[in-house]
Structure 1
Amino acid sequence: MKDYQPELRTVGVTRYVTPLREGGSLPAIAEADDDFLYVLKFRGAGQGAKALIAEIIGGELARLLGFRIPEIVFANLDPAFGRTEPDEEIQDLLKASVGLNLAVHYLSGAITFDPIVNSVDPLLASQIVWLDCLITNVDRTARNTNMLIWHKELWLIDHGASLYFHHTGGDWKEHSLRPFGQIKDHVLLPKASELEAIDARFKAILTPDRIQAIVALLPDEWLLADPNVESAESQRQIYAQFLDSRIAHSDVFVNAAQYARKTLI
């Protein structure tokens, strides 16, 4: 991991299979030119390119930390794609998403994690809670766990609701120093008893150089989709500095999570 340099493949979307009527990005199952199926997430959906940016950052941070994450790829959508789509809503979405989108390898046969049926040990629960505190992921609740069981192993999916500071505006520095209040609703918080041990371990992994390698994956066209962004590189550095600051002050969100957990157990 010393020379960590993540890379994402690029595929071409060849067939729209079926919509998934869930999630803010209105995803769909689609086939690509490598003959694999993917969960395709569109930049023309409600949250726009920012949801895709959060998906890459959150997903690749999780992968770096050792979690099981389906492969993330860039997915090109041709202007001619979807012209024969009979559903007007889907056709509008496809037209608005021509160009570079994001897709996640489809885990065929996976089942949704159920906290009543599936068990997670305190160490893994603490690891997931720590990650979600770092990236301010509001979408890992009992109602929507965004975890799958595939081949008897736990996989994390869907980090598009993370990094919500980029939707709210304001000072990113201030946001980076805030505790994560929504952690109280995290499905795994009651079992996350090893947060302090995980904090030291994960901070050693997430060095500034590795953060830079992840934000370098972000395409210019997604970053420049926001008219308030001065330049693609300046926006990349905001994401990098936000994460660096949050990691450096992780005691803020770790202490808040521990306090929230005490109120539950």
Structure 2
Amino acid sequence: MATHKTELRTVNVTRYITPLREGGSLPALAEADDDFKYVLKFRGAGHGSKALIAELLGGEIARTLGLKVPEMVFANLDEAFGRSEGDEEIQDLLKGSQGLNLALHFLSGALTFDPVVTQVDEKLASKIVWLDAYTTNIDRTVKNTNMLIWHKELWLIDHGATFYFHHSWSDWKKAAESPFPYIKDHVLLPQASLVEAINNEMIDQLSDEKLREITSLIPSEWLDWEGSEMETQEIREVYFQFLAHRRDHAHNFVKQIQHARETLI
């Protein structure tokens, strides 16, 4: 059982270094007032605060399950930040991201995981595949592995494509019980032979207390959705209920993983 208290530090962004032009969300390499460099993800980009919520929940659940994820911090952008930025697209992005954003510690010198070069052992592969089926992560494929090799260890990054149910926000219970067929495209599926064996271990680490701890991290300002009639605490409660219900119905996606592996083999 995980016993550590889930907390995030808050830093102030002091320098925008360079955009990281992967995908459409324009994350950036930035420096903060703690003198560390971070991969900064903006609430004013792409899917807005929902992508940050997905990143936060997905990353902290991975950490709870004992997987390696760069430290995440809340990153505050002052209203004056970025005024001198020459690129209009980036300037608009910075203006639209004032307040709290999310940043991940920059793993300097890390290499993109290549399944041809690096072999992942069966237990670790099974844990990662279980995690991604649980969080409905559609974005850990051969084309986009979203994993890095740093200090000879495997690190997970970029969980912004998890929990895709929240983009339509309809029938969360049905989404929680879904088997997740997209797992067939997972880059580590061939090695994930122990998913059934590690299932109870994974479930046991995701107690109601831990899931509430993680969902309580979501800043209220990220839950102030335009057009939504729900209060922020109601939205936060749906995230908790989704996670708890999906955990309790893990057999649905475990069976899907096994089926996908049988088809693959």
With the length of structure 1 as denominator, give the TM-score of the two structures. 0.98
2:2 touches 2:64 (CA, 8 Å); kept in 1? Answer: no
Per-residue CA deviation, residues 201-242 of structure 1 (Å, 9 max, x unaligned), is 111110111000000000000011343151111111101100
2:99 alignment partner in structure 1: 99
What one-letter code is carried by the residue in structure 1 that aligns with 2:50? K
1:53 alignment partner in structure 2: 53
1:24 touches 1:47 (CA, 8 Å); kept in 2? Answer: no
* Coordinate RMSD, CA, aligned: 1.0
1:141 alignment partner in structure 2: 141
**Residues 1-265 of structure 1: matches in 2 within 5 Å?**
3-265=3-265
Deviation at 1:5, TM superposition (A): 2.3
Distance 1:153 1:2, change over 3 A: closer
How far apart in 1 are the matches of 2:180 and 2:253? Answer: 6
How far apart in 1 are the matches of 2:2 and 2:120? Answer: 30
2:126 touches 2:198 (CA, 8 Å); kept in 1? Answer: yes
What one-letter code is carried by the residue in structure 2 that aligns with 1:50? K
How far apart in 2 are the matches of 1:226 and 1:88? Answer: 25
Q: Which sits farther off after the overlay, 109-118 or 3-12?
A: 3-12
Unaligned 5+ residue runs, structure 1? none
How far apart in 1 are the matches of 2:125 and 2:30? Answer: 32
Aligned to 1:6, what secondary structure does the other structure show?
Answer: coil
Deviation at 1:68, TM superposition (A): 0.8
Per-residue CA deviation, residues 63-107 of structure 1 (Å, 9 max, x unaligned), is 011011100000000111111101011001001001110000000
How far apart in 1 are the matches of 2:32 and 2:229? Answer: 32
1:25 touches 1:51 (CA, 8 Å); kept in 2? Answer: no
How far apart in 1 are the matches of 2:32 and 2:169? Answer: 35
1:4 touches 1:213 (CA, 8 Å); kept in 2? Answer: no
Aligned to 2:264, what secondary structure does the other structure show?
Answer: coil
Which of structure 1's runs of 4+ aligned residues deviate more than 3 A?
1-4
How far apart in 1 are the matches of 2:122 and 2:248? Answer: 24
How far apart in 1 are the matches of 2:63 and 2:159? Answer: 12
1:59 touches 1:159 (CA, 8 Å); kept in 2? Answer: yes
Unaligned 5+ residue runs, structure 2? none
Aligned to 2:236, what secondary structure does the other structure show?
Answer: helix
Aligned to 2:143, what secondary structure does the other structure show?
Answer: coil
Distance 1:193 1:3, change over 3 A: closer
How far apart in 2 are the matches of 1:23 and 1:229? Answer: 31
2:2 touches 2:205 (CA, 8 Å); kept in 1? Answer: no
Identical-pair percentage: 63
What one-letter code is carried by the residue in structure 2 that aligns with 1:63? R
How many aligned positions are there?
265
